[in-house]
A and B are shown apart, each in its own frame.
Chain A
């Protein structure tokens, strides 16, 4: 299995770079992953990543897109509560790219 190095530790990831074990996650994981993809994490990114982690902890799944946009809209203002804003932050899709940085498994299915 492939690994990534975070703070001197080797963490297992799957074929697509998602953490094999959710418990391995720490903020530095998101930093390392985003750096590898030439993305810079701002506070706006962290709002999303933190929400994903909170939601996952409660529901054992990433939030549906409308759940996520609504939550972000409530937190950061209505103009940001839409998928356009989320795609600006995570061009590869909030469902996939943001989940990866947050250490969540990749959403599967017809999505």
Chain B
């Protein structure tokens, strides 16, 4: 199945692996060609004066972002982060220890932008203070190892100084883009989203055709005409969801779940073809400008359609951008109804209805499954839901439990704020990084194996398009099947009782039997 070695899971927990230097030195994604670089404002290929530009850009970023400077200055080399990265655990490559990854950028920062670094460089022993001169080899190392970080921030939870490797990784990618060494997967997608409105490149007619097909499917299934409107003006809610929700499985089952919830709520809503994407890849490459451009599409769509509220679908890093940055990127949203959070997560929406007893579920519809929940990294560690701390952990679980009878959590050090990344986040969900993706999923696969063996778990739910696609693809390497990954709102969709469903359903059959 694979042309690389896949670990065999023999026990229910991961241990600190033996180091194997350089095992992932060969792993790197395709470099973006000119046609994907230039529209984003980057040079088409490696520029001649790359060295000056890197040094200058590093100075600019560490001057502009106080956080970056603190992260580069404050590592005390305590080692707490070393065994916390799923890529380190899965690959055994010491350069995937978070501190080692940070040091790739830190060494150059020290050499050029700190007093001690410059001093010891003059004395001929820069390595004494962890400084290193910038060479092409250093740049190559950046490209390899900053594309082995999914920016999931697990390491930062354990760092006593609070250093966030994700931000260092984003800065490194931004610098690489500035010298013409961008990553194909991310930059092709950003270009497409900026031109067509979503990462897949679904134009309006295809979107319409797809949504109409889903309406038919729901009506065939339930007898109820649940609508999935597109570009409808003057409605209550603009739904912004990852375009994978239109395109892939199990994502699409989640989308049908949102539609049913909105239907039961009696709210009017729409998808926008102009802003038909929640996932903002500008964040992955650390580009404020690109992140802002994509966010402004959502603002424009909300204004043009005259909506009162914005709700985001199941998408991990979209929720980070939405929850943490949308207001500063594309705000103020003073034209929306102030009685609702801007933006709101679909899980919050459904949860509120459950709390108010406004949804009815037939949980037995999900009795063929025993569920567990994978906390997506960006939701878990970079955002929140609801009004209380930890709402991002509590709310999705409450939604699942409202729709299912059988639920078990995975071990506590692998969920919540300590959740392991799926292994495909941060712009790494591309086939040219398949070895990395499979190996990076080892800790999650191990935890899932544990609850499978101990508690009979059959399915894992997630609220992120990347997590869903990644698991569908890589968990089979660990002996699972692709259909064991489900959307949270897929469970809602299966169990929800539509109040206007025709009466001649199974329920009446049961009554007859009684």
Residues of chain A contacted by B217 (CB below 8 angstroms): 66, 70
A61 and B360 CA atoms in complex are apart in Å by 38
A96 and B30 CA atoms in complex are apart in Å by 17
Q: Does A16 contact B (CB under 8 A)?
A: yes
Chain B residue with minimal CB distance to A91?
A: B1
Q: Does A111 contact B (CB under 8 A)?
A: yes
A5 and B383 CA atoms in complex are apart in Å by 51
Interface segment, one of B92-100, B135-143, B165-173, B193-201: B193-201
Task: Report whether B252 and A65 are in contact in the complex, using a CB–CB cutoff of 8 Å.
Answer: yes
Residues of chain B contacted by A87 (CB below 8 angstroms): 482
Contact A111 to B205, CB < 8 A, known contacts A64-B210, A66-B214, A67-B210: no
Q: Does B432 contact A (CB under 8 A)?
A: yes
Least CB distance from A61 to B in Å reads 5
Residues of chain A contacted by B184 (CB below 8 angstroms): 15
Interface segment, one of A30-38, A43-51, A102-110: A102-110
Task: Report whether B213 and A70 are in contact in the complex, using a CB–CB cutoff of 8 Å.
Answer: yes
Q: Does B34 contact A (CB under 8 A)?
A: no
Give 1 or 0 for each of A57-89: 1 = CB within 8 Å of chain B CB. 011110111110010000000000001000100
A5 and B258 CA atoms in complex are apart in Å by 47
Residues of chain B contacted by A96 (CB below 8 angstroms): 431
Task: Report whether B200 and A109 are in contact in the complex, using a CB–CB cutoff of 8 Å.
Answer: yes
Task: Report whether A64 and B246 are in contact in the complex, using a CB–CB cutoff of 8 Å.
Answer: yes
Contact with B200, one of A58, A66, A67, A111 (Cβ below 8 angstroms): A111
Chain A residue with minimal CB distance to B188?
A: A108
Interface of A is mostly: loop
Contact A61 to B200, CB < 8 A, known contacts A16-B431, A109-B243: yes
Q: Which of B435-476 contact A (CB under 8 A)?
A: 465-466, 468-469, 473
Least CB distance from B38 to A in Å reads 17
Contact A61 to B214, CB < 8 A, known contacts A108-B185, A108-B192: no
Task: Report whether B244 and A66 are in contact in the complex, using a CB–CB cutoff of 8 Å.
Answer: no
Contact with B248, one of A58, A59, A61, A65 (Cβ below 8 angstroms): A65
Least CB distance from B448 to A in Å reads 20
Task: Report whether B242 and A110 are in contact in the complex, using a CB–CB cutoff of 8 Å.
Answer: yes
Task: Report whether B432 and A61 are in contact in the complex, using a CB–CB cutoff of 8 Å.
Answer: no
Task: Report whether B203 and A60 are in contact in the complex, using a CB–CB cutoff of 8 Å.
Answer: yes
Task: Report whether B206 and A66 are in contact in the complex, using a CB–CB cutoff of 8 Å.
Answer: no
Residues of chain A contacted by B279 (CB below 8 angstroms): 109-110
Chain B residue with minimal CB distance to A83?
A: B249
Task: Report whether A110 and B466 are in contact in the complex, using a CB–CB cutoff of 8 Å.
Answer: yes
Q: Does B302 contact A (CB under 8 A)?
A: no
Contact A66 to B243, CB < 8 A, known contacts A61-B202, A108-B201: no
Residues of chain B contacted by A61 (CB below 8 angstroms): 200-203, 206
Contact with A109, one of B205, B244, B252 (Cβ below 8 angstroms): B244
Q: Does B496 contact A (CB under 8 A)?
A: no
Least CB distance from A39 to B in Å reads 15
Q: Does B403 contact A (CB under 8 A)?
A: no
Q: Which of B191-227 contact A (CB under 8 A)?
A: 192, 198-203, 205-206, 209-210, 213-214, 217
A110 and B468 CA atoms in complex are apart in Å by 9
Q: Which of B267-301 contact A (CB under 8 A)?
A: 279
Least CB distance from A84 to B in Å reads 8
The 7 closest A-B pairs by CB, nearest first: A109-B199, A110-B465, A59-B206, A110-B244, A64-B247, A109-B200, A111-B248
| Beyond A110-B279, A110-B429, A111-B200, 8 additional pairs, beta carbon < 8 A | A16-B431, A65-B249, A83-B249, A108-B201, A109-B199, A109-B244, A110-B465, A111-B248
Q: Spell out B's residues near A (CB within 8 Å).
A: 30, 184-185, 188-189, 192, 198-203, 205-206, 209-210, 213-214, 217, 242-244, 246-249, 252, 279, 315, 429, 431-432, 465-466, 468-469, 473, 482
Q: Spell out A's residues near B (CB within 8 Å).
A: 15-16, 58-61, 63-67, 70, 83, 87, 93, 95-96, 107-111
16 A–B contact pairs at CB < 8 A? A59-B206, A63-B206, A64-B252, A65-B252, A66-B210, A66-B213, A66-B214, A66-B252, A70-B217, A87-B482, A93-B473, A108-B185, A109-B199, A110-B465, A110-B466, A111-B200
